[in-house]
Chain A
């Protein structure tokens, strides 16, 4: 699979001159060939200077492959030959006005104007108002067919998005998901940076994945600058990432319990989730780990007394969450509601390019902590949690397996931690370089891509939250389901809106 690519390891930078510049047809073909050989499309985006940058993630080989191509106003779309490119190509059209000809469903992603001058992919004038969510929607025709529209504002304390169901009674033929309501301009704001705010905007790219995004960002800046983080920071970064995973998986299992009316675990886990968050606050003062990571290391250390406090808390939370989740997953009434609901077939998951937890629930044993290990994960043996059925139950089981593994890791990370230097100075980014990082957040791999210009400032910064790959998986899971199971299916993915909208 080497072909015309430049090979990188996770968190490695390369001079732009070493990134192959292919004709667009050759880049298309290279992506198709790499996907056929087992890689997935990690990123397909404009660089803001007339090129497309493609990143392939080769999990088996532990490599990232990158190449680029000059592109004009249009090119033959990749999506018909490589479905997992579908949202990337919509994004490219929206961000830079580059039209992928033959894309089967070319709609906006975030409902904003393109950057730079020139025609918009949909012929919208530069100064015209863009109404979010106003676009073509797939529609099933028939006498008894009806549409159900939900959102953007939902009934609970959750983020906005619009869901459109094509139904026949309870039966869902199709679900279409329109996001973009949370768009805050994170990628655009990073250009010319890193600015003082860039790290904080990325910590808030998806607030429930603050550590995942902050770490991915720090890796990009460290790689671009040619520095390495302080050794004492490595274990603490991993500890914070595991605490983030523990909190979210615990919360999600509780929410799944709530959606099938199994109230004991719904109640217990809502509280235990807070116990994990409080451990993050013990380390750095913030329950979400805000302010913990910085390029070069971390800002708070853990001395012996604090480590002992954390171990006591870990032990208590471990006991509580084990009791609560075993109660949930051992209940026949819960099994009956979880099994065979919201199924994504393994071949569909592969074709759609699902990642992370949702992909592992379809039988693919991939985890960036193992396949693309950085920092403390280099010294840790870790088995990806896998289930095979691709249903709500599989996604719940994967969470539980990962919870147990994370508790083991967290305990090890706390016990083995030594208070070494926490932070080193990182040189400023080198000019005309490219760096890619991949961090396995709790939903899946968080990918950041940074390019610098001749002035050593960021000329392009790309963020790919795992949700970007996985929202289409939720749409697939709803096919031929009952609409009343939407909350359950949705919660089993629990994807980020703001992580996509940026």
Chain B
């Protein structure tokens, strides 16, 4: 009996204090990119050509990065001859609209707003989620799971993962939705009582990610169900996922964005 207690004292207290205090992030974390289009040489297309996800198109204002397709790899930043693209440590990425997952010079990134009306009243203090991996690689899944550990303690916000869709208020989906999971996703969604929310985590669940275009998958959650929150990344950092969830339930106010 004494052994576990002594070890408990040695291990100490590690639950981070987010959102009051943002835990330290690695300096090389590739979070939300910034684009400094003024640096772009005329007619340059290097970043768009370096992007194997075809996430960059060259708008009149310069490169526009679709974070729904982006896997936050180092390719475009490394390829850019003018250092116009930089993936910084900004972890806040979640949006309510697919179209808002866009970064370009001169626009403000529209972080996800909280739920409204009845949904906020019901789920603002308690949100039970059924997690479905639908062709996911277990990357997003592990970083979704990690929020349940004592370092993050997701339960303190009233958010829990539940073991049945019947106990759930919403679905959290990872993966591009493989054809072989389409039916299971539909059935899970149908089994969750109304009103309900769907949260798409990771590039795969938003756009198919690296698998976009493969005929064995459907290109993300939106192909099957309506999505209320998009959390980009490959996989998103746990802090990005938590930030998105807390924005959805109104625990982080828009003012802080």
Contacts and interface: CB of A to CB of B under 8 A. Distances in A.
Contact of A270 (B29, B78, B151, B163): B151
B253 interface: no
A132 interface: yes
Nearest to A300: B28
Contact of A184 (B145, B163, B217): B217
Interface residues of A, number: 65
Interface stretch (B108-116, B180-188, B222-230): B180-188
Interface in A460-499: 496-498
B8 A274 contact: no
A300 to B, nearest CB: 7
B139 interface: yes
Nearest to A131: B183
Interface string A102-127: 00000000111000000000000000
Contacts of A110: 180
Nearest to B14: A271
B79 to A, nearest CB: 12
Interface string B203-235: 010000111001111000000000000000011
A310 to B, nearest CB: 11
B151 A274 contact: yes
A282 B137 contact: no
A146 interface: no
Contact of B210 (A111, A204, A270, A278): A204
A382 to B, nearest CB: 27
A287 interface: yes
A152 B181 contact: yes
B142 interface: yes
B181 A182 contact: yes
Given A155-B164, A181-B180, A285 B211 contact: no
B140 interface: yes
A39 interface: no
Interface string A394-428: 00000000000000000000000000000000000
A490 B164 CA distance: 20
Contacts of B209: 204
Contacts of A285: 26, 28-30, 74, 87
B141 interface: yes
Contacts of A273: 146, 149
B133 A182 contact: yes
A444 B171 CA distance: 33
B138 A185 contact: no
Interface in A179-228: 180-186, 188-189, 195-197, 200-201, 203-208, 210
Interface in B137-177: 137-146, 148-151, 161, 163-164, 175-176
A288 interface: yes
Given A197-B210, A204-B209, A210-B139, A291 B10 contact: no
B88 to A, nearest CB: 11
Given A208-B139, A264-B4, A183 B180 contact: yes
A330 interface: yes
A245 to B, nearest CB: 15
B43 interface: no
B95 interface: no
Nearest to B28: A285
A31 to B, nearest CB: 30
Given A182-B135, A323-B7, A287 B237 contact: yes
A82 to B, nearest CB: 29
Interface stretch (A45-53, A70-78, A157-165, A350-358): A157-165
A299 interface: yes
Given A207-B136, A327-B3, A498-B138, A281 B164 contact: no
Nearest to B51: A196
A331 B131 CA distance: 33
Contacts of B34: none
Given A111-B180, A156-B131, A157-B144, 18 more contacts: A110-B180, A153-B188, A159-B141, A182-B135, A182-B180, A184-B135, A184-B176, A184-B178, A188-B216, A200-B71, A271-B14, A274-B151, A282-B28, A286-B72, A288-B139, A327-B4, A330-B3, A497-B138
Interface of B: 3-4, 7-8, 10-11, 14, 26-30, 52-53, 71-74, 78, 87, 130-146, 148-151, 161, 163-164, 175-176, 178-181, 183-184, 188, 204, 209-211, 214-217, 234-235, 237-238
**When A and B form their complex, which 6 residue pairs have the shortest distance between CB atoms, in order from nearest?**
A207-B139, A196-B52, A270-B149, A207-B137, A285-B28, A155-B163
Interface of A: 110-112, 131-132, 152-153, 155-160, 180-186, 188-189, 195-197, 200-201, 203-208, 210, 251, 264, 267-268, 270-271, 273-274, 278, 281-288, 290-291, 299-300, 320, 323-324, 327, 330-331, 496-498, 501
